[in-house]
């Protein structure tokens, strides 16, 4: 296997956790490079379900090195909870899990501010403090992992931060943040993170130089990207391919293969335009069959047909070489299956993905309808898939312009058809 990026090309929750877990068998290192514990990556292995938010999905397989890069925003309390979960599952992470000394921390006031912003904006964030943590990072008012040990710097920075934060908290009737509480939090953060803090940029370059194989585990998806997504209904980082380089400190040549993950239909959690959303029995059926409830927040996911315009755009901006398409089994037994091939916006047929969320809100999907199939669940060879499922795969490949090299027909890593053995 070559160094491979696994990126969502829709609105997140495409099944990245499953695919990363499966491919981690063939790699030495798994890195997260953006986002934070807004992610919820589900892995089903040996009948057990594990949801990871911050720690790379590679941690489940023994001896894989896992890196949380500088581009990730880290909430040490959430990190600790995940460590405890791993301990309960007898997964030994000691000596193979590393957190970047350059990563920005999610502070308790970021979480409070996320709640306040959410009340007025209704973006449907995960309320994990992600947006404010990145806002403070770019405003050069962040606290990074390496700053935890610099008392003087912290003293000065915290005074500046509180001048910003407390008037906002006060004006929303929330309890103000005290300097000594932040220092107490910092002491706790130091204790939690100390064994893991590393210059992960040096580490990853060392590993690459030694010829180790690396998997880059994206969080969220292309359509939630701060630059390319359905702004402002997006997350505050770059889940698209560029995030890997800034989020780890490596050059583009280190990534040899880019796999885009997509569901065989579409889901979205949180607010924002979603042209193929089905607010009817079919949408309800997909949600029920697909267990479409957020892995982080438990919120019901909005469900709809496959949107080829959006997926083609997601694939393009991530520069993917092939697609891993998940959840084929959920479309089993549908009499017919629809695919959105274009939008009608303000009376015009459009095949491009608009930059403006307001425009996308007005998009009416133009569908093509195809005959369904009986069963893909339980099939483990491409040849044995029902003809109509194979036709559906071919149609989507032609529409997106990229091969579907992995077909996932169940949540377990074994429920996967790999059409291109070079991926392993
Ligand atoms: P991620 O955020 O991209 O890692 O995806 P999530 O874990 O949030 O959501 C994907 C959900 O679909 C999880 O519950 C997975 O266990 C499940 N899943 C992944 N692939 C398949 C599949 O092919 N079929 C079925 N039935 N479930 C799948
Ligand atoms: P994974 O990695 C799906 C969505 C939120 C909200 C928007 C902004 O599991 O695919 P944020 O808390 O990031 O400020 O929220 O982004 N969102 C996700 N949706 N999967 C995710 O991650 C998501 N992470 C954030 O629902 O609409
Ligand atoms: Mg998820």
Do 273 and 164 sit in the same domain of this protein?
A: no
What span, in angstroms and rounded, lies between the C-alpha atoms of 155 and 183? 9
Tell me how many domains the chain contains. 3
Chain CA centroid to CA 38, Å: 8
* Cα 302 from Cα 56, distance rounded (Å): 26
For residues 382 and 358, membership in a common domain is answered with yes
Task: Kindly compute the dihedral angle of the four CA atoms of residues 8, 26, 56, 300, in this order, to the nearest 10 degrees.
Answer: 40
**Ligand 2: which atom is nearest the Cα of residue 271?**
27
In the predicted structure, residue 297 carries a pLDDT above the cut 90:
no
User: pLDDT per residue over 189-222, tens digit each?
Assistant: 999 999 999 999 999 999 999 999 999 999 999 9
In angstroms, what CA-CA distances link 127 with 169, 256, 402? 16, 35, 35
| Residue ranges lining ligand 1, Cβ < 6 Å | 8, 12-18, 39-42, 44, 291, 295, 326-327, 329-330, 408-411
- 308 with 417, same domain: the answer is yes
- Domain range enclosing 143: 104-193
Residues 112 and 128 placed together within one structural domain of the fold: yes
CATH number for the domain that contains residue 214:
3.40.440.10
Q: Are residues 337 and 411 in the same domain?
A: yes
CB neighbours (10 Å) of residue 170? 11
Looking at the fold, whether 300 and 387 belong to one and the same domain comes out as yes
Examine the domain organization and report whether 186 and 108 are in the same domain. Answer: yes
Shared domain for 215 and 273, answered yes or no, is no
What is the CATH classification number for the domain harbouring 283? 3.90.170.10
Using CB distances shorter than 6 Å, the residues near ligand 2 are 8, 11-13, 38-41, 123-126, 128, 130-131, 219-221, 224, 235-236, 269-270, 295
Per-residue pLDDT tens digits for 350-380: 999 999 999 999 999 999 999 999 999 999 9
Task: Decide which of 168, 193, 218 is a domain's last residue.
Answer: 193
Q: What is the pLDDT of residues 133-189, one digit of tens each?
A: 999 999 999 999 999 999 999 999 999 999 999 999 999 999 999 999 999 999 999
Among the candidates 163, 193, 223, a domain finishes at 193
Atom of ligand 2 nearest to the CA of 130: 14
Q: How far apart are CA 263 and CA 306, in angstroms?
A: 8
Q: Choose the final residue of a domain: 237, 258, 279.
A: 258
């Amino acid at each position: 296997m070559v160094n491979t990026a696994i990126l969502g090309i829709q609105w997140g929750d495409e099944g990245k956790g499953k695919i990363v877990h499966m491919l981690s068998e063939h790699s030495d290192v798994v890195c997260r490079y953006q986002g934070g514990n807004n992610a919820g990556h589900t892995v089903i292995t040996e009948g057990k379900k594990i949801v990871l938010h911050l720690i790379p999905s590679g941690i489940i397989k023994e001896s894989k090195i896992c890196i949380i890069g500088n581009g990730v925003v880290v909430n040490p309390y959430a990190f600790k909870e995940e460590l405890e979960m791993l301990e309960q599952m007898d997964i030994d992470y000691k000596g193979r899990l590393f957190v970047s000394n350059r990563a920005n921390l999610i502070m308790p006031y970021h979480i409070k501010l996320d709640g306040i912003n959410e009340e007025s904006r209704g973006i449907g964030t995960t309320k994990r403090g992600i947006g404010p943590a990145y806002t403070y990072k770019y405003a050069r008012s962040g606290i990074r992992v390496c700053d935890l040990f610099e008392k003087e710097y912290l003293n000065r920075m915290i005074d500046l931060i509180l001048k910003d934060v407390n008037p906002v908290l006060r004006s929303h009737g929330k309890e103000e943040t005290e300097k000594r509480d932040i220092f107490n939090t910092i002491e706790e953060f130091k204790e939690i993170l100390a064994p893991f803090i590393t210059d992960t940029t040096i580490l990853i370059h060392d590993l690459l130089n030694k010829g180790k194989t690396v998997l880059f585990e994206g969080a969220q998806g292309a359509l939630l990207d701060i630059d390319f997504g359905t702004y402002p209904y997006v997350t505050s980082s770059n889940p698209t391919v560029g995030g890997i380089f800034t989020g780890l400190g490596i050059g583009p040549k280190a990534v040899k293969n880019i796999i885009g993950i997509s569901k065989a239909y579409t889901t979205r959690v949180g607010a924002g335009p979603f042209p193929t959303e089905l607010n009817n029995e079919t949408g309800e059926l997909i949600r029920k069959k697909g267990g479409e409830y957020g892995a982080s927040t438990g919120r019901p996911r909005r469900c709809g047909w496959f949107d080829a315009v959006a997926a083609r755009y997601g694939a393009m901006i991530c520069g993917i070489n092939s697609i891993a398409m998940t959840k084929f089994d959920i479309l089993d037994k549908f009499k017919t299956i629809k695919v959105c091939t274009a939008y009608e916006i303000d009376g015009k047929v459009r095949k491009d993905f608009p930059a403006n969320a307001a425009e996308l809100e007005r998009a009416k999907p133009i569908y093509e309808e195809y005959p369904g199939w009986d069963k893909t669940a339980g099939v483990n060879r491409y040849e044995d898939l029902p003809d109509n499922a194979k036709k559906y795969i071919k149609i989507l490949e032609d529409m997106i312009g990229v091969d579907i090299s992995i077909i996932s027909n169940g949540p377990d890593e074994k429920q996967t058809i790999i059409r291109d053995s070079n991926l392993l």
